[in-house]
């Protein structure tokens, strides 16, 4: 393995070396594109500190958030003209990673080529900034083409920080048996508890299923006289932690929900939720965001208390029933990707 990748893993990493190496080969979201403006932004991924900034051309740059001079946290610094300025001794770094200024040196002293940021592979896609710690990975970014459709209204929540693993969040996103019990304050008050049998379709990096779900009708969502209706749910999950669902309420109204999860550490995650809808286009987005935030809070209240924090990969450790087809396949696939516990 590339030694430079191995050394990115921090000494206090909460992932074992094997699992860290498996997860480092995937793209992970770290920020909304619109969060990254003219100041450096510090994020953590797989217990690695990452600094993000925009260079002189506005391109997003990611690097290890450790100054190669004396180890300061670069994200505490500033940017000047698209260059990252270290908060400790003021050394400057261009978007290429090269050091362009050592303030303590006499003018004219050559800057060593080796004085360089540890750059991390980065991509801006689907309104998010994604990074990959180990570029030898094969799995592409999720396409999420629907976000580019101008006829739809697109909006997102602020990033949510959850005190649980990325695997538990994905399991929850793709679980429908909890609706009638967890989402009683939003879309599933008094709905049928039974989950219809569904077919799970596997692909190289994805899981897909479609089923009808009874829920409170969107038209009456805020009214006292709730009316339930059957909606068509299509789920498309892509490994490692990119969740997507399409809810067709009726022939005219439908919504896509995208949930990208960052494994910050083994027991902390960041959840990036975005939405696209083709109805209520004249309504304020704030109302919809309030609703979606409430749905997420209903989930987090439960899943932050679920133990063990990571989804067990040994299928005998928890008891699965018919509705758990997705989460059984999820666990099996992670074992195939090489995760161990």
Nearer to ligand FES, 80 or 340 (CB): 80
Closest CB 116 distance from ligand FES, rounded Å: 13
**In the set 61, 91, 129, 303, which binds ligand FES (CB under 6 A)?**
91
**In the set 51, 62, 63, 67, which binds ligand FES (CB under 6 A)?**
67
Nearer to ligand FES, 102 or 323 (CB): 102
**In the set 44, 69, 118, 192, which binds ligand FES (CB under 6 A)?**
69
How many Å apart are CA 266 and CA 245, to the nearest integer? 25
Nearer to Fe ion, 133 or 245 (CB): 245
From Fe ion, ligand FES, none, which one binds at residue 51 (CB under 5 to 8 Å depending on kind)? none
From Fe ion, ligand FES, none, which one binds at residue 332 (CB under 5 to 8 Å depending on kind)? none
Torsion sign, CA atoms 205, 271, 332, 310: positive
105 binds ligand FES (CB under 6 A): no
Closest CB 74 distance from ligand FES, rounded Å: 7
From ligand FES, Fe ion, none, which one binds at residue 227 (CB under 5 to 8 Å depending on kind)? none
**Of 112, 149, 164, which is closest to residue 276 (Cα–Cα)?**
149
Question: Which residues contact Fe ion (rule: CB under 5 A)?
Answer: 299
**In the set 88, 205, 279, 291, which binds ligand FES (CB under 6 A)?**
88
From Fe ion, ligand FES, none, which one binds at residue 299 (CB under 5 to 8 Å depending on kind)? Fe ion
Binding site for ligand FES (CB under 6 A): 67, 69-70, 72, 86, 88-89, 91
């Amino acid at each position: 393995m590339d030694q430079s990748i191995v050394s990115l893993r921090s000494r206090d990493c909460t992932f074992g070396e094997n699992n860290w190496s498996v997860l480092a080969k995937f793209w992970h979201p770290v920020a909304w594109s619109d969060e990254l403006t003219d100041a450096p932004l510090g994020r953590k991924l797989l217990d690695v500190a990452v600094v993000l900034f925009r260079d002189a051309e506005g391109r997003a740059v990611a690097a290890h958030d450790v100054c190669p001079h004396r180890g300061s946290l670069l994200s505490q610094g500033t940017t000047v003209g698209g260059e990252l300025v270290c908060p400790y001794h003021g050394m400057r770094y261009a978007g290429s990673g090269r050091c362009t200024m050592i303030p303590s040196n006499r003018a004219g002293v050559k800057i060593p080529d080796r004085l360089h940021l540890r750059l991390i592979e980065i991509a801006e896609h689907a309104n998010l900034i994604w990074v990959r710690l180990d570029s030898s990975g094969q799995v592409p970014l999720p396409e999420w083409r629907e976000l580019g459709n101008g006829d739809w209204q697109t909006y997102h929540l602020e990033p949510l920080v959850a005190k649980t693993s990325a695997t538990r969040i994905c399991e929850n996103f793709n679980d429908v048996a909890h609706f009638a019990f967890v989402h009683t304050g939003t879309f599933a008050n008094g709905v049928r508890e039974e989950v219809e049998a569904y077919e799970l379709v596997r692909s190289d990096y994805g899981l897909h299923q479609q089923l009808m779900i009874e829920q409170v009708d969107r038209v009456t969502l805020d009214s006292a006289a709730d009316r339930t209706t059957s909606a068509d749910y299509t789920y498309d999950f892509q490994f490692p932690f990119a969740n997507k669902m399409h809810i067709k309420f009726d022939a005219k109204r439908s919504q896509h929900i995208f949930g990208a999860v960052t494994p910050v550490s083994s027991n902390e995650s960041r959840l990036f939720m975005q939405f696209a809808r083709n109805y209520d286009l004249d309504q304020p987005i704030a109302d919809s965001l309030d609703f979606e935030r409430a749905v997420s809070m209903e989930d987090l209240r439960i899943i932050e208390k679920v133990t063990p924090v990571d989804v067990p990969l040994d299928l005998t450790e928890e008891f699965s029933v018919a509705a758990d087809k997705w989460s059984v396949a999820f666990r099996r696939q992670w074992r195939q990707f090489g995760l161990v516990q």
